[in-house]
Copies of this chain bind each other. A is one copy, B any other.
C-alpha cells in the first residue's frame, strides 16, 4: 500500500534571523564559532540589540529538510510548535507554500514564550554560528504527536536538536512507536556536536533500539562514538543501524550500508552562507531513498542540494533542485 507521506519530520520550528558579522563580533560576545548555542530570552534580546540589520527566513533544521523534499516534489509533512504570532504565521506559510503539510497545534497567543528564532551570524568565510532561542518549540509534547500521521509515512525524520527541552524523549517515543507499528522506518540526525554531548546516552539508546538511518557530520560522529578516526566511528554506528551517512564539508559524504564504504564528492561552490548545508543534504538523500535510487546516487543528490543552499543566504532552496539533479545526470 502506498503511504500518504514519504517523509515526516519532527523538530524545533524556528524562524532564522540572518545577519553578517565579523569574527571579532563573535569573540567580543563570547560566541563559539560554527556551532549552535541555546540562549534564553534575555540573552536573545541582548544579542539582537547588538546585531546588524538582518533578514528573516523560515528555518528549523528538520523543517529545512522537509521544505527541500517538498521542493523536489516529495510527499512530506512536518511537526513542530510555533505560537499564534507573526513569526509563527510566517513559518507556517513558508512550509505550506513549499508543498509540505503542517498542522501542529499552535501555542496560544497568550503563551509567554514566543515562536522560536535562531540568530544566525554569517562570518566572511561563509561559516554560520547559531544562537537559538527555543521559545515554544521546546513545548512540543506527546499530545502534539498524531499517531495516524506517524503511521501514514514511510520514514520519520527526527532532529537531534529536538532532544533539548522537556517531554522531547516521550514525544519521539510516541512517534517512533506509531511509525514502526505501521511498518515505517526511522531516520535521525545528530544535529550538532554539543547537542550530542548533552544527550549522548539518550541518542545512543535511540540509535540502538530504533534508528534505521543515521545522518551526521564528522564532528558529530566523533562526539558520538569518540573513536580516533572516521571509519572506525562509522563502523561502530553501522553495527547498530542499517544506513550510516556522514557528511564531511568539502570532502563530500560517506555512506555505509552493509558492505563497503561509498563516497560522493562535494560539488565545488563559493560558500556564501553555510546555513542549512546538512539539512539540505538530508533532503536530497531522503528524496533519493524514497524514490528508489541507490545509496551513492542518494548521497550525490544530497551533495547537489547542499551545494545549492550554501551558495546563497538562507537555509531553504532557491533554485529548482530537480533541474539541478538533471544537470548533474542524477535523474
Docked-complex contact A56 and B55, CB < 8 angstroms? yes
Cα–Cα, bound, A52→B51 (Å): 28
Docked-complex contact B98 and A114, CB < 8 angstroms? no
Output the residue of A51, A55, A318 with the most chain B CB within 10 A.
Answer: A55
A94 at the interface (CB under 8 A from B): yes
Cβ distance A154 to chain B, nearest Cβ, rounded Å: 24
Segment touching B, from A82-90, A183-191, A200-208: A82-90
A288 at the interface (CB under 8 A from B): no
Residue of B nearest to A16 (CB): B55
Cβ distance A258 to chain B, nearest Cβ, rounded Å: 38
Interface residues in A, total, Cβ within 8 A:
26
Docked-complex contact B97 and A53, CB < 8 angstroms? yes
Cα–Cα, bound, A301→B87 (Å): 36
Docked-complex contact A56 and B57, CB < 8 angstroms? yes
Cα–Cα, bound, A187→B93 (Å): 39
Cβ distance A60 to chain B, nearest Cβ, rounded Å: 13
Docked-complex contact B94 and A53, CB < 8 angstroms? yes
Cα–Cα, bound, A85→B109 (Å): 12
B49, B56, B97, B318: the one contacting A51 at CB < 8 Å is B97
Residue of B nearest to A89 (CB): B48
A58 at the interface (CB under 8 A from B): yes
> Copies of this chain, how many?
2
Cα–Cα, bound, A67→B54 (Å): 12
- A295-319 CB mask vs B (1 if < 8 Å, else 0) is 0000000000000000000101010
Chain A contact residues, majority secondary structure: mixed
B51, B53, B55, B67: the one contacting A53 at CB < 8 Å is B67
Cβ distance A115 to chain B, nearest Cβ, rounded Å: 8
Contacts of A95 in B (CB 8 A): 53
Cα–Cα, bound, A98→B90 (Å): 24
Contacts of A87 in B (CB 8 A): 86
Cα–Cα, bound, A207→B93 (Å): 43
Cα–Cα, bound, A95→B52 (Å): 9
Contacts of A85 in B (CB 8 A): 85-86
Residue of B nearest to A18 (CB): B55
Output the residue of A86, A90, A95 with the most chain B CB within 10 A.
Answer: A86
Interface residues of A in 84-136 (CB under 8 A from B): 85-87, 90, 93-95, 97-98, 114-115
Cα–Cα, bound, A95→B95 (Å): 28
Contacts of A114 in B (CB 8 A): 86
Cβ distance A137 to chain B, nearest Cβ, rounded Å: 15
Docked-complex contact B53 and A316, CB < 8 angstroms? yes
Cα–Cα, bound, A53→B59 (Å): 11
Cα–Cα, bound, A37→B296 (Å): 50
B49, B51, B52, B94: the one contacting A54 at CB < 8 Å is B94
Q: Nearest 3 pairs between A and B by C-beta?
A: A56-B56, A53-B94, A86-B86
Cβ distance A22 to chain B, nearest Cβ, rounded Å: 13
Cα–Cα, bound, A97→B19 (Å): 11
Docked-complex contact A93 and B54, CB < 8 angstroms? yes
